[in-house]
């Protein structure tokens, strides 16, 4: 049987940093509250389009694999914050990177978009339908943020990551996955006022708001991710002791600690970067994976456990066996367009517009 080896990895973080202290200048919050409840210290704010981040992450992953983009036969892009409804963002990426032989599909399962994509891409390679697949996950979530909601606004950030997977005879790549959805709680995370369920005649249309039941999501996240972890370990006949590194969805440090405790994995085996980037939704796992490899946390043949959850409420876990190579074959010089603003300067007109709209809609 063919497997789907991860041969390239890349990430793209926009340069503008929004600190907890920056947030406290316009919402009623504090560094102490955010740090103690979430572990987050800062996050990035995108100054360009989502597709710009996706293109840079893709080019870096392709360079790491030293793969000609014309050889790609599929692009799977997990995101809920695409450039536009039409065309899809995977098509925009396909054109920009010159991958004209690749079918291009967007996947919207929120934070689980990358793992869902990796699962789908891996199984298409296993089935023989595709050979070289680019899997992207990322988010421009600040674009949809309701900056008056302190319980939501402090949690998220913008980023994108990507991997290249290629058919291989070696038993490497995503060996097993379990994905699912608890749709009875679908409105525990909801972005409102955008989409065909909302009247375009309403004054609120496009003023995206959030319904967010953080505690419900927290409880379900820990339960579903830990069950999915146990399931994938059982599928491949491994125990937690065989796992070298856990690369989970980065939503909240307390969720990561609870997950590690419940699955029985020591915290030092859990890769954490939520303090630097916050929750970048579909971006967290590919960004964390790329950082873990680049920081020397992954060795040839390692077993990596990944777990995720997000709006839907979708969830999943996967067990990845890393291949022989932990160094990129090439380094891309792809960069985002320059940014001459601070994060607060980027956000200021949006915060002002929301405040003005709130006054007129009372």
Catalytic residues: 111, 249, 279
Strand, helix or coil at 164?
strand
- Contact (CB, 8 A) for 156 and 280: yes
What character string, x for contact with ligand ACO (CB under 6 A) and - otherwise, covers 137-156? Answer: -------------xx--xx-
Closest CA to 339 of 9, 68, 16, 64: 16
Q: Which of 48, 214, 240, 244 binds ligand ACO (CB under 6 A)?
A: 214
**Long-range contact list for 262-267, CB < 8 A, 24+ apart?**
262/222, 262/226, 263/226, 263/229, 263/230, 263/305, 264/240, 265/240, 265/305
Quick check: 77 binds ligand ACO (CB under 6 A)? Answer: no
Quick check: 62 binds ligand ACO (CB under 6 A)? Answer: no
Q: Which of 134, 189, 246, 292 binds ligand ACO (CB under 6 A)?
A: 189
State which residue, 97 or 288, has the beta carbon closest to ligand ACO. Answer: 288
Give the bridge partners for 319, in sequence order. Answer: 176, 305
Quick check: 215 binds ligand ACO (CB under 6 A)? Answer: yes
What is the dihedral angle through the alpha carbons of 32, 357, 195, 18, rounded to the nearest 10 degrees?
-30
Nearest distance from residue 180's CB to ligand ACO, in Å? 14
Quick check: 43 binds ligand ACO (CB under 6 A)? Answer: no
Nearest distance from residue 113's CB to ligand ACO, in Å? 9
Q: What is the DSSP string of 190-211?
A: EEES-STTS-TTSTTTT--EEE
Site stretch for ligand ACO (CB under 6 A), options 27-35, 94-102, 123-131, 347-355: 27-35
Which structure tokens are listed for 225?
A: 């991710």
State which residue, 23 or 175, has the beta carbon closest to ligand ACO. Answer: 23
- Contact (CB, 8 A) for 159 and 140: no
d(CA 312, CA 328): 35
**Long-range contact list for 291-296, CB < 8 A, 24+ apart?**
291/11, 292/245, 292/247, 293/9, 293/322, 293/326, 296/326
Nearest distance from residue 270's CB to ligand ACO, in Å? 16
Quick check: 181 binds ligand ACO (CB under 6 A)? Answer: no
Nearest distance from residue 175's CB to ligand ACO, in Å? 25
Nearest distance from residue 165's CB to ligand ACO, in Å? 24
Quick check: 256 binds ligand ACO (CB under 6 A)? Answer: no
Binding site for ligand ACO (CB under 6 A): 29, 33-34, 37-38, 110-111, 150-151, 154-155, 189, 214-215, 217-218, 251-252, 279, 281, 310-311
């Amino acid at each position: 049987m063919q497997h789907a080896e991860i041969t390239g990895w890349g990430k793209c973080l926009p340069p503008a940093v929004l600190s907890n202290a920056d947030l406290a200048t316009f919402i009623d919050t504090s560094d102490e509250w955010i740090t103690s409840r979430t572990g987050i210290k800062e996050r990035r704010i995108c100054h360009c389009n989502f597709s710009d981040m996706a293109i840079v992450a893709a080019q870096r992953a392709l360079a790491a694999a030293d793969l000609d983009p014309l050889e790609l036969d599929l692009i799977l892009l997990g995101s809920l914050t695409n450039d536009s409804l039409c065309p899809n963002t995977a098509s925009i990426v396909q054109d920009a990177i010159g991958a004209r032989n690749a079918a291009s599909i967007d996947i919207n399962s929120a934070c689980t978009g990358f793992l869902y994509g990796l699962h789908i891409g891996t199984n298409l390679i296993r089935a023989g339908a595709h050979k070289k697949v680019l899997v992207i996950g990322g988010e421009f979530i600040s674009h949809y943020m309701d900056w008056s909601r302190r319980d939501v606004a402090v949690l998220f950030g913008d980023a994108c990551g990507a991997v290249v997977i290629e058919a291989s005879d070696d038993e490497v790549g995503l060996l097993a996955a379990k994905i699912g959805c608890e749709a009875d709680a679908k409105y525990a995370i909801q972005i409102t006022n955008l989409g065909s369920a909302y009247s375009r005649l309403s004054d609120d249309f496009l003023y995206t708001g959030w319904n967010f039941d953080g505690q419900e999501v927290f409880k379900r996240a820990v339960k579903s991710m830990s069950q999915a972890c146990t399931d994938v370990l059982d599928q491949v006949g491994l125990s937690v002791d065989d796992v070298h590194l856990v690369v989970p969805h980065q939503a909240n440090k307390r969720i990561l600690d609870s997950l590690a405790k419940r699955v029985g994995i020591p915290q030092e085996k859990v890769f954490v970067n939520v303090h630097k980037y916050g929750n970048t939704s579909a971006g967290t796992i590919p960004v964390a994976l790329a950082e873990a490899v680049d920081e020397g946390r992954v060795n040839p043949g390692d077993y990596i456990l990944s777990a995720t959850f997000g709006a839907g409420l979708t969830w999943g876990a996967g067990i990845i066996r890393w291949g022989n190579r932990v160094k990129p074959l090439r380094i891309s010089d792809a960069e985002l367009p320059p940014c001459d603003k601070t994060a607060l300067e980027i956000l200021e007109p949006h915060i002002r517009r929301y405040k003005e709209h709130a006054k007129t809609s009372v």
